[in-house]
Amino acid sequence: MLIAGNWKMYDGPDPVALREALHDALGEHEHVVAPPFTRLHECVRAGLTTFAQNVHWEPEGAYTGEVSARMLLERGVAGALVGHSERRQYFGETDTTVARRTHAALHAGLRVIACVGETGEERESGDTETVLRIQVEAIRDACGEHERLVLAYEPVWAIGTGKTATPELAGEAHAFVKSLLDVPVLYGGSVKPDNAAELLAQPDIDGALVGGASLDIDSFVAICRAARS
């Protein structure tokens, strides 16, 4: 069971205080935090398993605003998120670029949480499985069942909206994703302390990618305790 916190473009909690709290809350379960680039070093230094929120497919070059896998590894960063729905929605990320980023990061030695998921319109039109198949197969064809690869199913309509997929709905989506690529799959979509236990009890849900609730130590720890139980 893996619990990952995506701090997005927020400063997030104090890394040292968070590490102390997670030590008691998680036991043998694993944590990941994905802070903004300005806090990567601080989180690594505090002993947190630290992922970047994005990574480029080239080792270096004229790519203003991007960071390579090599640069992250040299600074003690363990992995990267790739293809988050906000990257797809606001910054033109495509299935092809997600696959390229994922492949490059894995090849360089990083761990990766690659995100997939449908919009509300796609779900309402009955296209959820089609969308997931296209997204997952792009990653599968580029990377295969890599030991450092984890997927995160994010129903886009549930991110930052307060809406959450029912445990049964989330479980069905996870099972479908795993039928395409047999790697662990996290659930990401307004995960909170009051719904975490029921979601994480689903057999095909292998953890959570937590957004806003990861910015508060108490709420993030509560989700981690739900995973442990």
Question: Domain segments of the chain: what residues?
Answer: 2-228
pLDDT at 123: 85
Instruction: Determine whether 154 is an active site residue.
Output: yes
Give the pLDDT mean for 176-198. 94
SS3 213: helix
Q: Pseudo-torsion of CA 171, 116, 100, 79, nearest 10°?
A: -70
Instruction: Determine whether 56 is an active site residue.
Output: no
Residue scoring higher pLDDT (26 or 138): 138
Q: How far apart are CA 37 and CA 14, in angstroms?
A: 15
Instruction: Look at the domain 2-228 and name its fold.
Output: TIM Barrel (3.20.20)
With a cut of 90, say whether residue 158 has pLDDT above it: no
With a cut of 80, say whether residue 163 has pLDDT above it: no
pLDDT at 188: 93
pLDDT at 103: 98
pLDDT at 162: 67
With a cut of 90, say whether residue 159 has pLDDT above it: no
pLDDT at 198: 94
With a cut of 90, say whether residue 71 has pLDDT above it: yes
Q: Could you say which of 84, 103, 146, 174 is catalytic?
A: 84
Measured from the Cβ of residue 212, the count of other Cβ atoms closer than 10 Å reads 18
Task: Kindly indicate the confidence band of residue 165, based on its pLDDT and cuts at 50, 70 and 90.
Answer: confident
Please return the burial class of 124, using the count of CB atoms within 10 Å of its CB with bins 0-12, 13-18 and 19+: exposed
Q: Note the pLDDT tens digit of each residue in 5-20.
A: 999 999 999 999 999 9
Please indicate, yes or no, whether the overall pTM of this predicted structure exceeds 0.75.
yes
Give the pLDDT mean for 139-168. 88
Q: Could you say which of 93, 118, 122, 154 is catalytic?
A: 154
185: phi then psi, degrees, rounded to nearest 5? -130, 120
Q: Note the pLDDT tens digit of each residue in 109-144.
A: 999 999 999 988 888 888 899 999 999 999 999 999
pLDDT at 160: 66
pLDDT at 186: 98
With a cut of 80, say whether residue 29 has pLDDT above it: no
Q: At what angle do helices 217-228 and 15-26 cross, to 10 degrees?
A: 20
